[in-house]
Structures are given as structure tokens and as C-alpha cells.
């Protein structure tokens, strides 16, 4: 027996013969020409326009996520484009598909850590140091790395972190989550006895908590930002291809031991 239909409803956008509305605003009359891409992304994802301070902060964190050089996702996109240049969209899709727990996950992890230690509706803690110490102890007990700390290249400190916090200060958004992640960083260095600078994913994770963004959307920020970056890489691949050379070298080295001498 067929089940009764459940209603289907979406409240993001609709069109009539002569109007297009998104999140309740007229796209031609109220959005185009008035919203920059970051502000409109904020509207699309939260349902409300950003304040001027939110606008500057939000644009900064998304911009910080766009481009990181020849990353795994950039290389996967470029390799895919080399095989299917008729489908730029599929190359971006391939690059995005790798933005999972390993790379984008640390940003999510920082947000989760902060919300678990200090839920949105909880009052301020008496003592950020004690709370931070608890957090670090829990991660050490579980034998897990504290997300948002350390960086393979920027060993003396991630240059994005102080800048993002400076913008947060100027936007009046350097609140209790920024304070807490800084305290976590201090406690982690003490506990592990080595340099563990706060990296950009930790800073952005904390700022996302200041916005009150739900944890699930964080990965979405990384994905949408990187989509922009990947289009840039594909454009470079069109002009200065490198993908197939990378594959050729890898293939050759990987199977060299299987060949006979002289081949």
C-alpha cells in the first residue's frame, strides 16, 4: 500500500512571472548591486543579512579558506580536468570531494570542542583556564590531538591567526570563544611541553562559535570557499598544465620495481 504523501517545502527562494525572491528579498531590486558575494553567502546560509561588523568578519573567514596552494584537492581537481576538460564542473566536484575529516575536519573539530566545553546557552565560565585545562586533559586521555593547534609549515605561529583575531577585535566579536581557544592553546603547550601555535582552523572555529553557527555548517564554509579556489587552479591548469606530468612521474616510480631491467 502506498504511503500518504508528506508535504515538501523549501523557504529559500521562489520565482513568479516577474519576480525572484531569495530569503524574502527581491533579487533584482534589493540584492543585486547591494550585496557583495560574502554578504550574500551569509544571507543564503543564515537567512538574515549581516551587520557591517559581521560582514567584515564573515568575508575574512571565508576568504581565508579559498586558497592554500597546490593542495590535495587542487591536484585532484586538476587531474580530473585533464581527463574531462569538457566538464569543469566535475573537476571542481572531484576536488571538493576530498574536503573531509582529515583537512576540513580540524575546523569542525575546534568548533565542536568549544561548543561542548561551553554551549551557546551556557553562562560564562568562572575561570577560562580551568575549563581549558579540562579540555586538554580530556583530549590527552582520549589520546586525540587537540584540533586547531600546530601547523606543519608555520611552526612559529600561523600568520593568519593574529590577523583574524585582530579583525574579530575590531568587529567586536572577540568574545568568550576566542578567549577559550586561546586558553586551550596555552594549556596545551604547557601540557605537551612543546610549541603548539593556534592555527587558522582553530581561530576560524572559535570565530564561528562567536557567530553561533551550527557545527554542521562549518564544513560547508570550507567547501564553498574552496570551490572558488579550485576554479582558479583549473584556469591555471588550462594555461600551464602540470597534472598529467605529476601522474606520469608517480606512475613511473610506483611501478618501476615491477619492470624488468632495461625497460
Under rule CB under 8 A, which residues in 118-147 are in contact with its own copies? none
Which of the ranges 71-79, 120-128, 134-142, 186-194 carries the binding residues for its own copies, by CB under 8 A?
Answer: 71-79
The answer to the question of residue 247 lying near its own copies (CB under 8 A) is yes
Cell of residue 238, nine digits: 588550462
Which of the ranges 117-125, 127-135, 185-193, 232-240 carries the binding residues for its own copies, by CB under 8 A?
Answer: 232-240
Torsion of CA 200, 201, 206, 212, to 10 degrees: 130
The answer to the question of residue 16 lying near its own copies (CB under 8 A) is yes
The answer to the question of residue 253 lying near its own copies (CB under 8 A) is yes
Of the candidate residues 48, 53, 54, 100, the single one contacting its own copies (CB under 8 A) = 100
Q: Is 21 helix (H, G, I), strand (E, B) or coil?
A: strand
Return d(Cα 4, Cα 69) in angstroms, integer: 51
Backbone angles phi, psi at 69, to 5 degrees: 85, -160
Which of the ranges 59-67, 117-125, 172-180, 184-192 carries the binding residues for its own copies, by CB under 8 A?
Answer: 59-67
Return d(Cα 259, Cα 263) in angstroms, integer: 6
Least spacing, CB of residue 73 vs its own copies, in Å? 6
The answer to the question of residue 4 lying near its own copies (CB under 8 A) is no
Cell of residue 170, nine digits: 575590531
The answer to the question of residue 6 lying near its own copies (CB under 8 A) is yes
Least spacing, CB of residue 25 vs its own copies, in Å? 11
Of the candidate residues 119, 123, 142, 254, the single one contacting its own copies (CB under 8 A) = 254
Q: Is 203 helix (H, G, I), strand (E, B) or coil?
A: helix
- Do β-strands 20-22 and 13-15 pair in parallel, antiparallel, or remain unpaired? antiparallel
Which of the ranges 76-84, 110-118, 141-149, 188-196 carries the binding residues for its own copies, by CB under 8 A?
Answer: 76-84
The answer to the question of residue 25 lying near its own copies (CB under 8 A) is no
Query: If phi over 0 gives left and psi between -120 and 50 gives alpha, with beta otherwise, what is residue 199?
Result: beta
Please answer whether residues 25 and 31 qualify as being in contact, where contact means their C-beta atoms are separated by less than 8 angstroms: yes
The answer to the question of residue 251 lying near its own copies (CB under 8 A) is yes
The answer to the question of residue 219 lying near its own copies (CB under 8 A) is yes
Which H or E element spans position 15? strand 13-15
Of the candidate residues 123, 134, 150, 155, the single one contacting its own copies (CB under 8 A) = 155
Sheet harboring 13-15: ordered strands across?
A: 13-15, 20-22, 25-26
Amino acid at each position: 500500500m502506498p504511503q500518504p504523501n508528506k508535504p515538501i517545502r523549501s523557504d529559500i527562494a521562489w520565482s513568479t512571472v516577474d519576480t525572484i525572491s531569495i530569503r524574502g528579498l527581491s533579487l533584482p531590486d534589493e540584492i543585486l548591486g547591494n550585496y557583495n558575494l560574502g554578504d550574500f553567502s551569509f544571507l543564503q546560509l543564515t537567512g538574515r543579512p549581516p551587520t557591517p561588523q559581521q560582514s567584515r568578519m564573515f568575508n575574512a573567514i571565508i576568504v581565508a579558506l579559498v586558497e592554500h596552494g597546490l593542495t590535495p584537492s587542487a591536484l585532484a581537481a586538476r587531474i580530473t580536468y585533464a581527463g574531462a576538460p569538457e566538464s569543469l564542473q566535475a573537476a571542481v566536484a572531484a576536488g571538493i570531494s576530498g574536503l573531509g575529516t582529515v583537512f576540513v575536519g580540524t575546523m569542525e573539530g575546534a568548533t565542536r570542542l568549544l561548543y561542548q566545553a561551553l554551549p551557546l546557552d551556557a553562562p560564562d565560565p568562572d575561570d577560562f583556564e580551568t575549563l581549558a585545562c579540562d579540555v586538554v586533559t580530556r583530549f590527552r586521555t582520549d589520546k586525540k590531538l587537540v584540533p586547531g593547534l600546530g601547523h606543519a609549515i608555520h611552526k612559529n605561529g600561523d600568520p593568519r591567526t593574529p590577523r583574524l583575531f585582530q579583525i574579530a577585535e575590531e568587529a567586536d566579536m572577540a568574545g568568550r570563544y576566542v578567549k577559550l581557544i586561546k586558553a586551550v592553546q596555552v594549556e596545551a603547550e604547557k601540557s605537551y611541553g612543546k610549541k603548539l601555535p593556534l592555527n587558522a582552523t582553530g581561530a576560524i572555529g572559535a570565530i564561528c562559535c562567536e557567530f553561533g553557527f551550527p557545527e554542521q555548517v562549518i564544513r560547508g564554509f570550507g567547501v564553498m570557499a574552496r570551490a572558488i579556489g579550485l576554479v582558479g587552479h583549473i584556469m591555471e591548469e588550462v594555461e600551464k598544465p602540470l597534472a598529467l606530468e605529476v601522474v606520469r612521474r608517480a606512475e613511473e616510480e610506483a611501478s618501476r620495481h615491477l619492470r624488468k631491467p632495461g625497460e
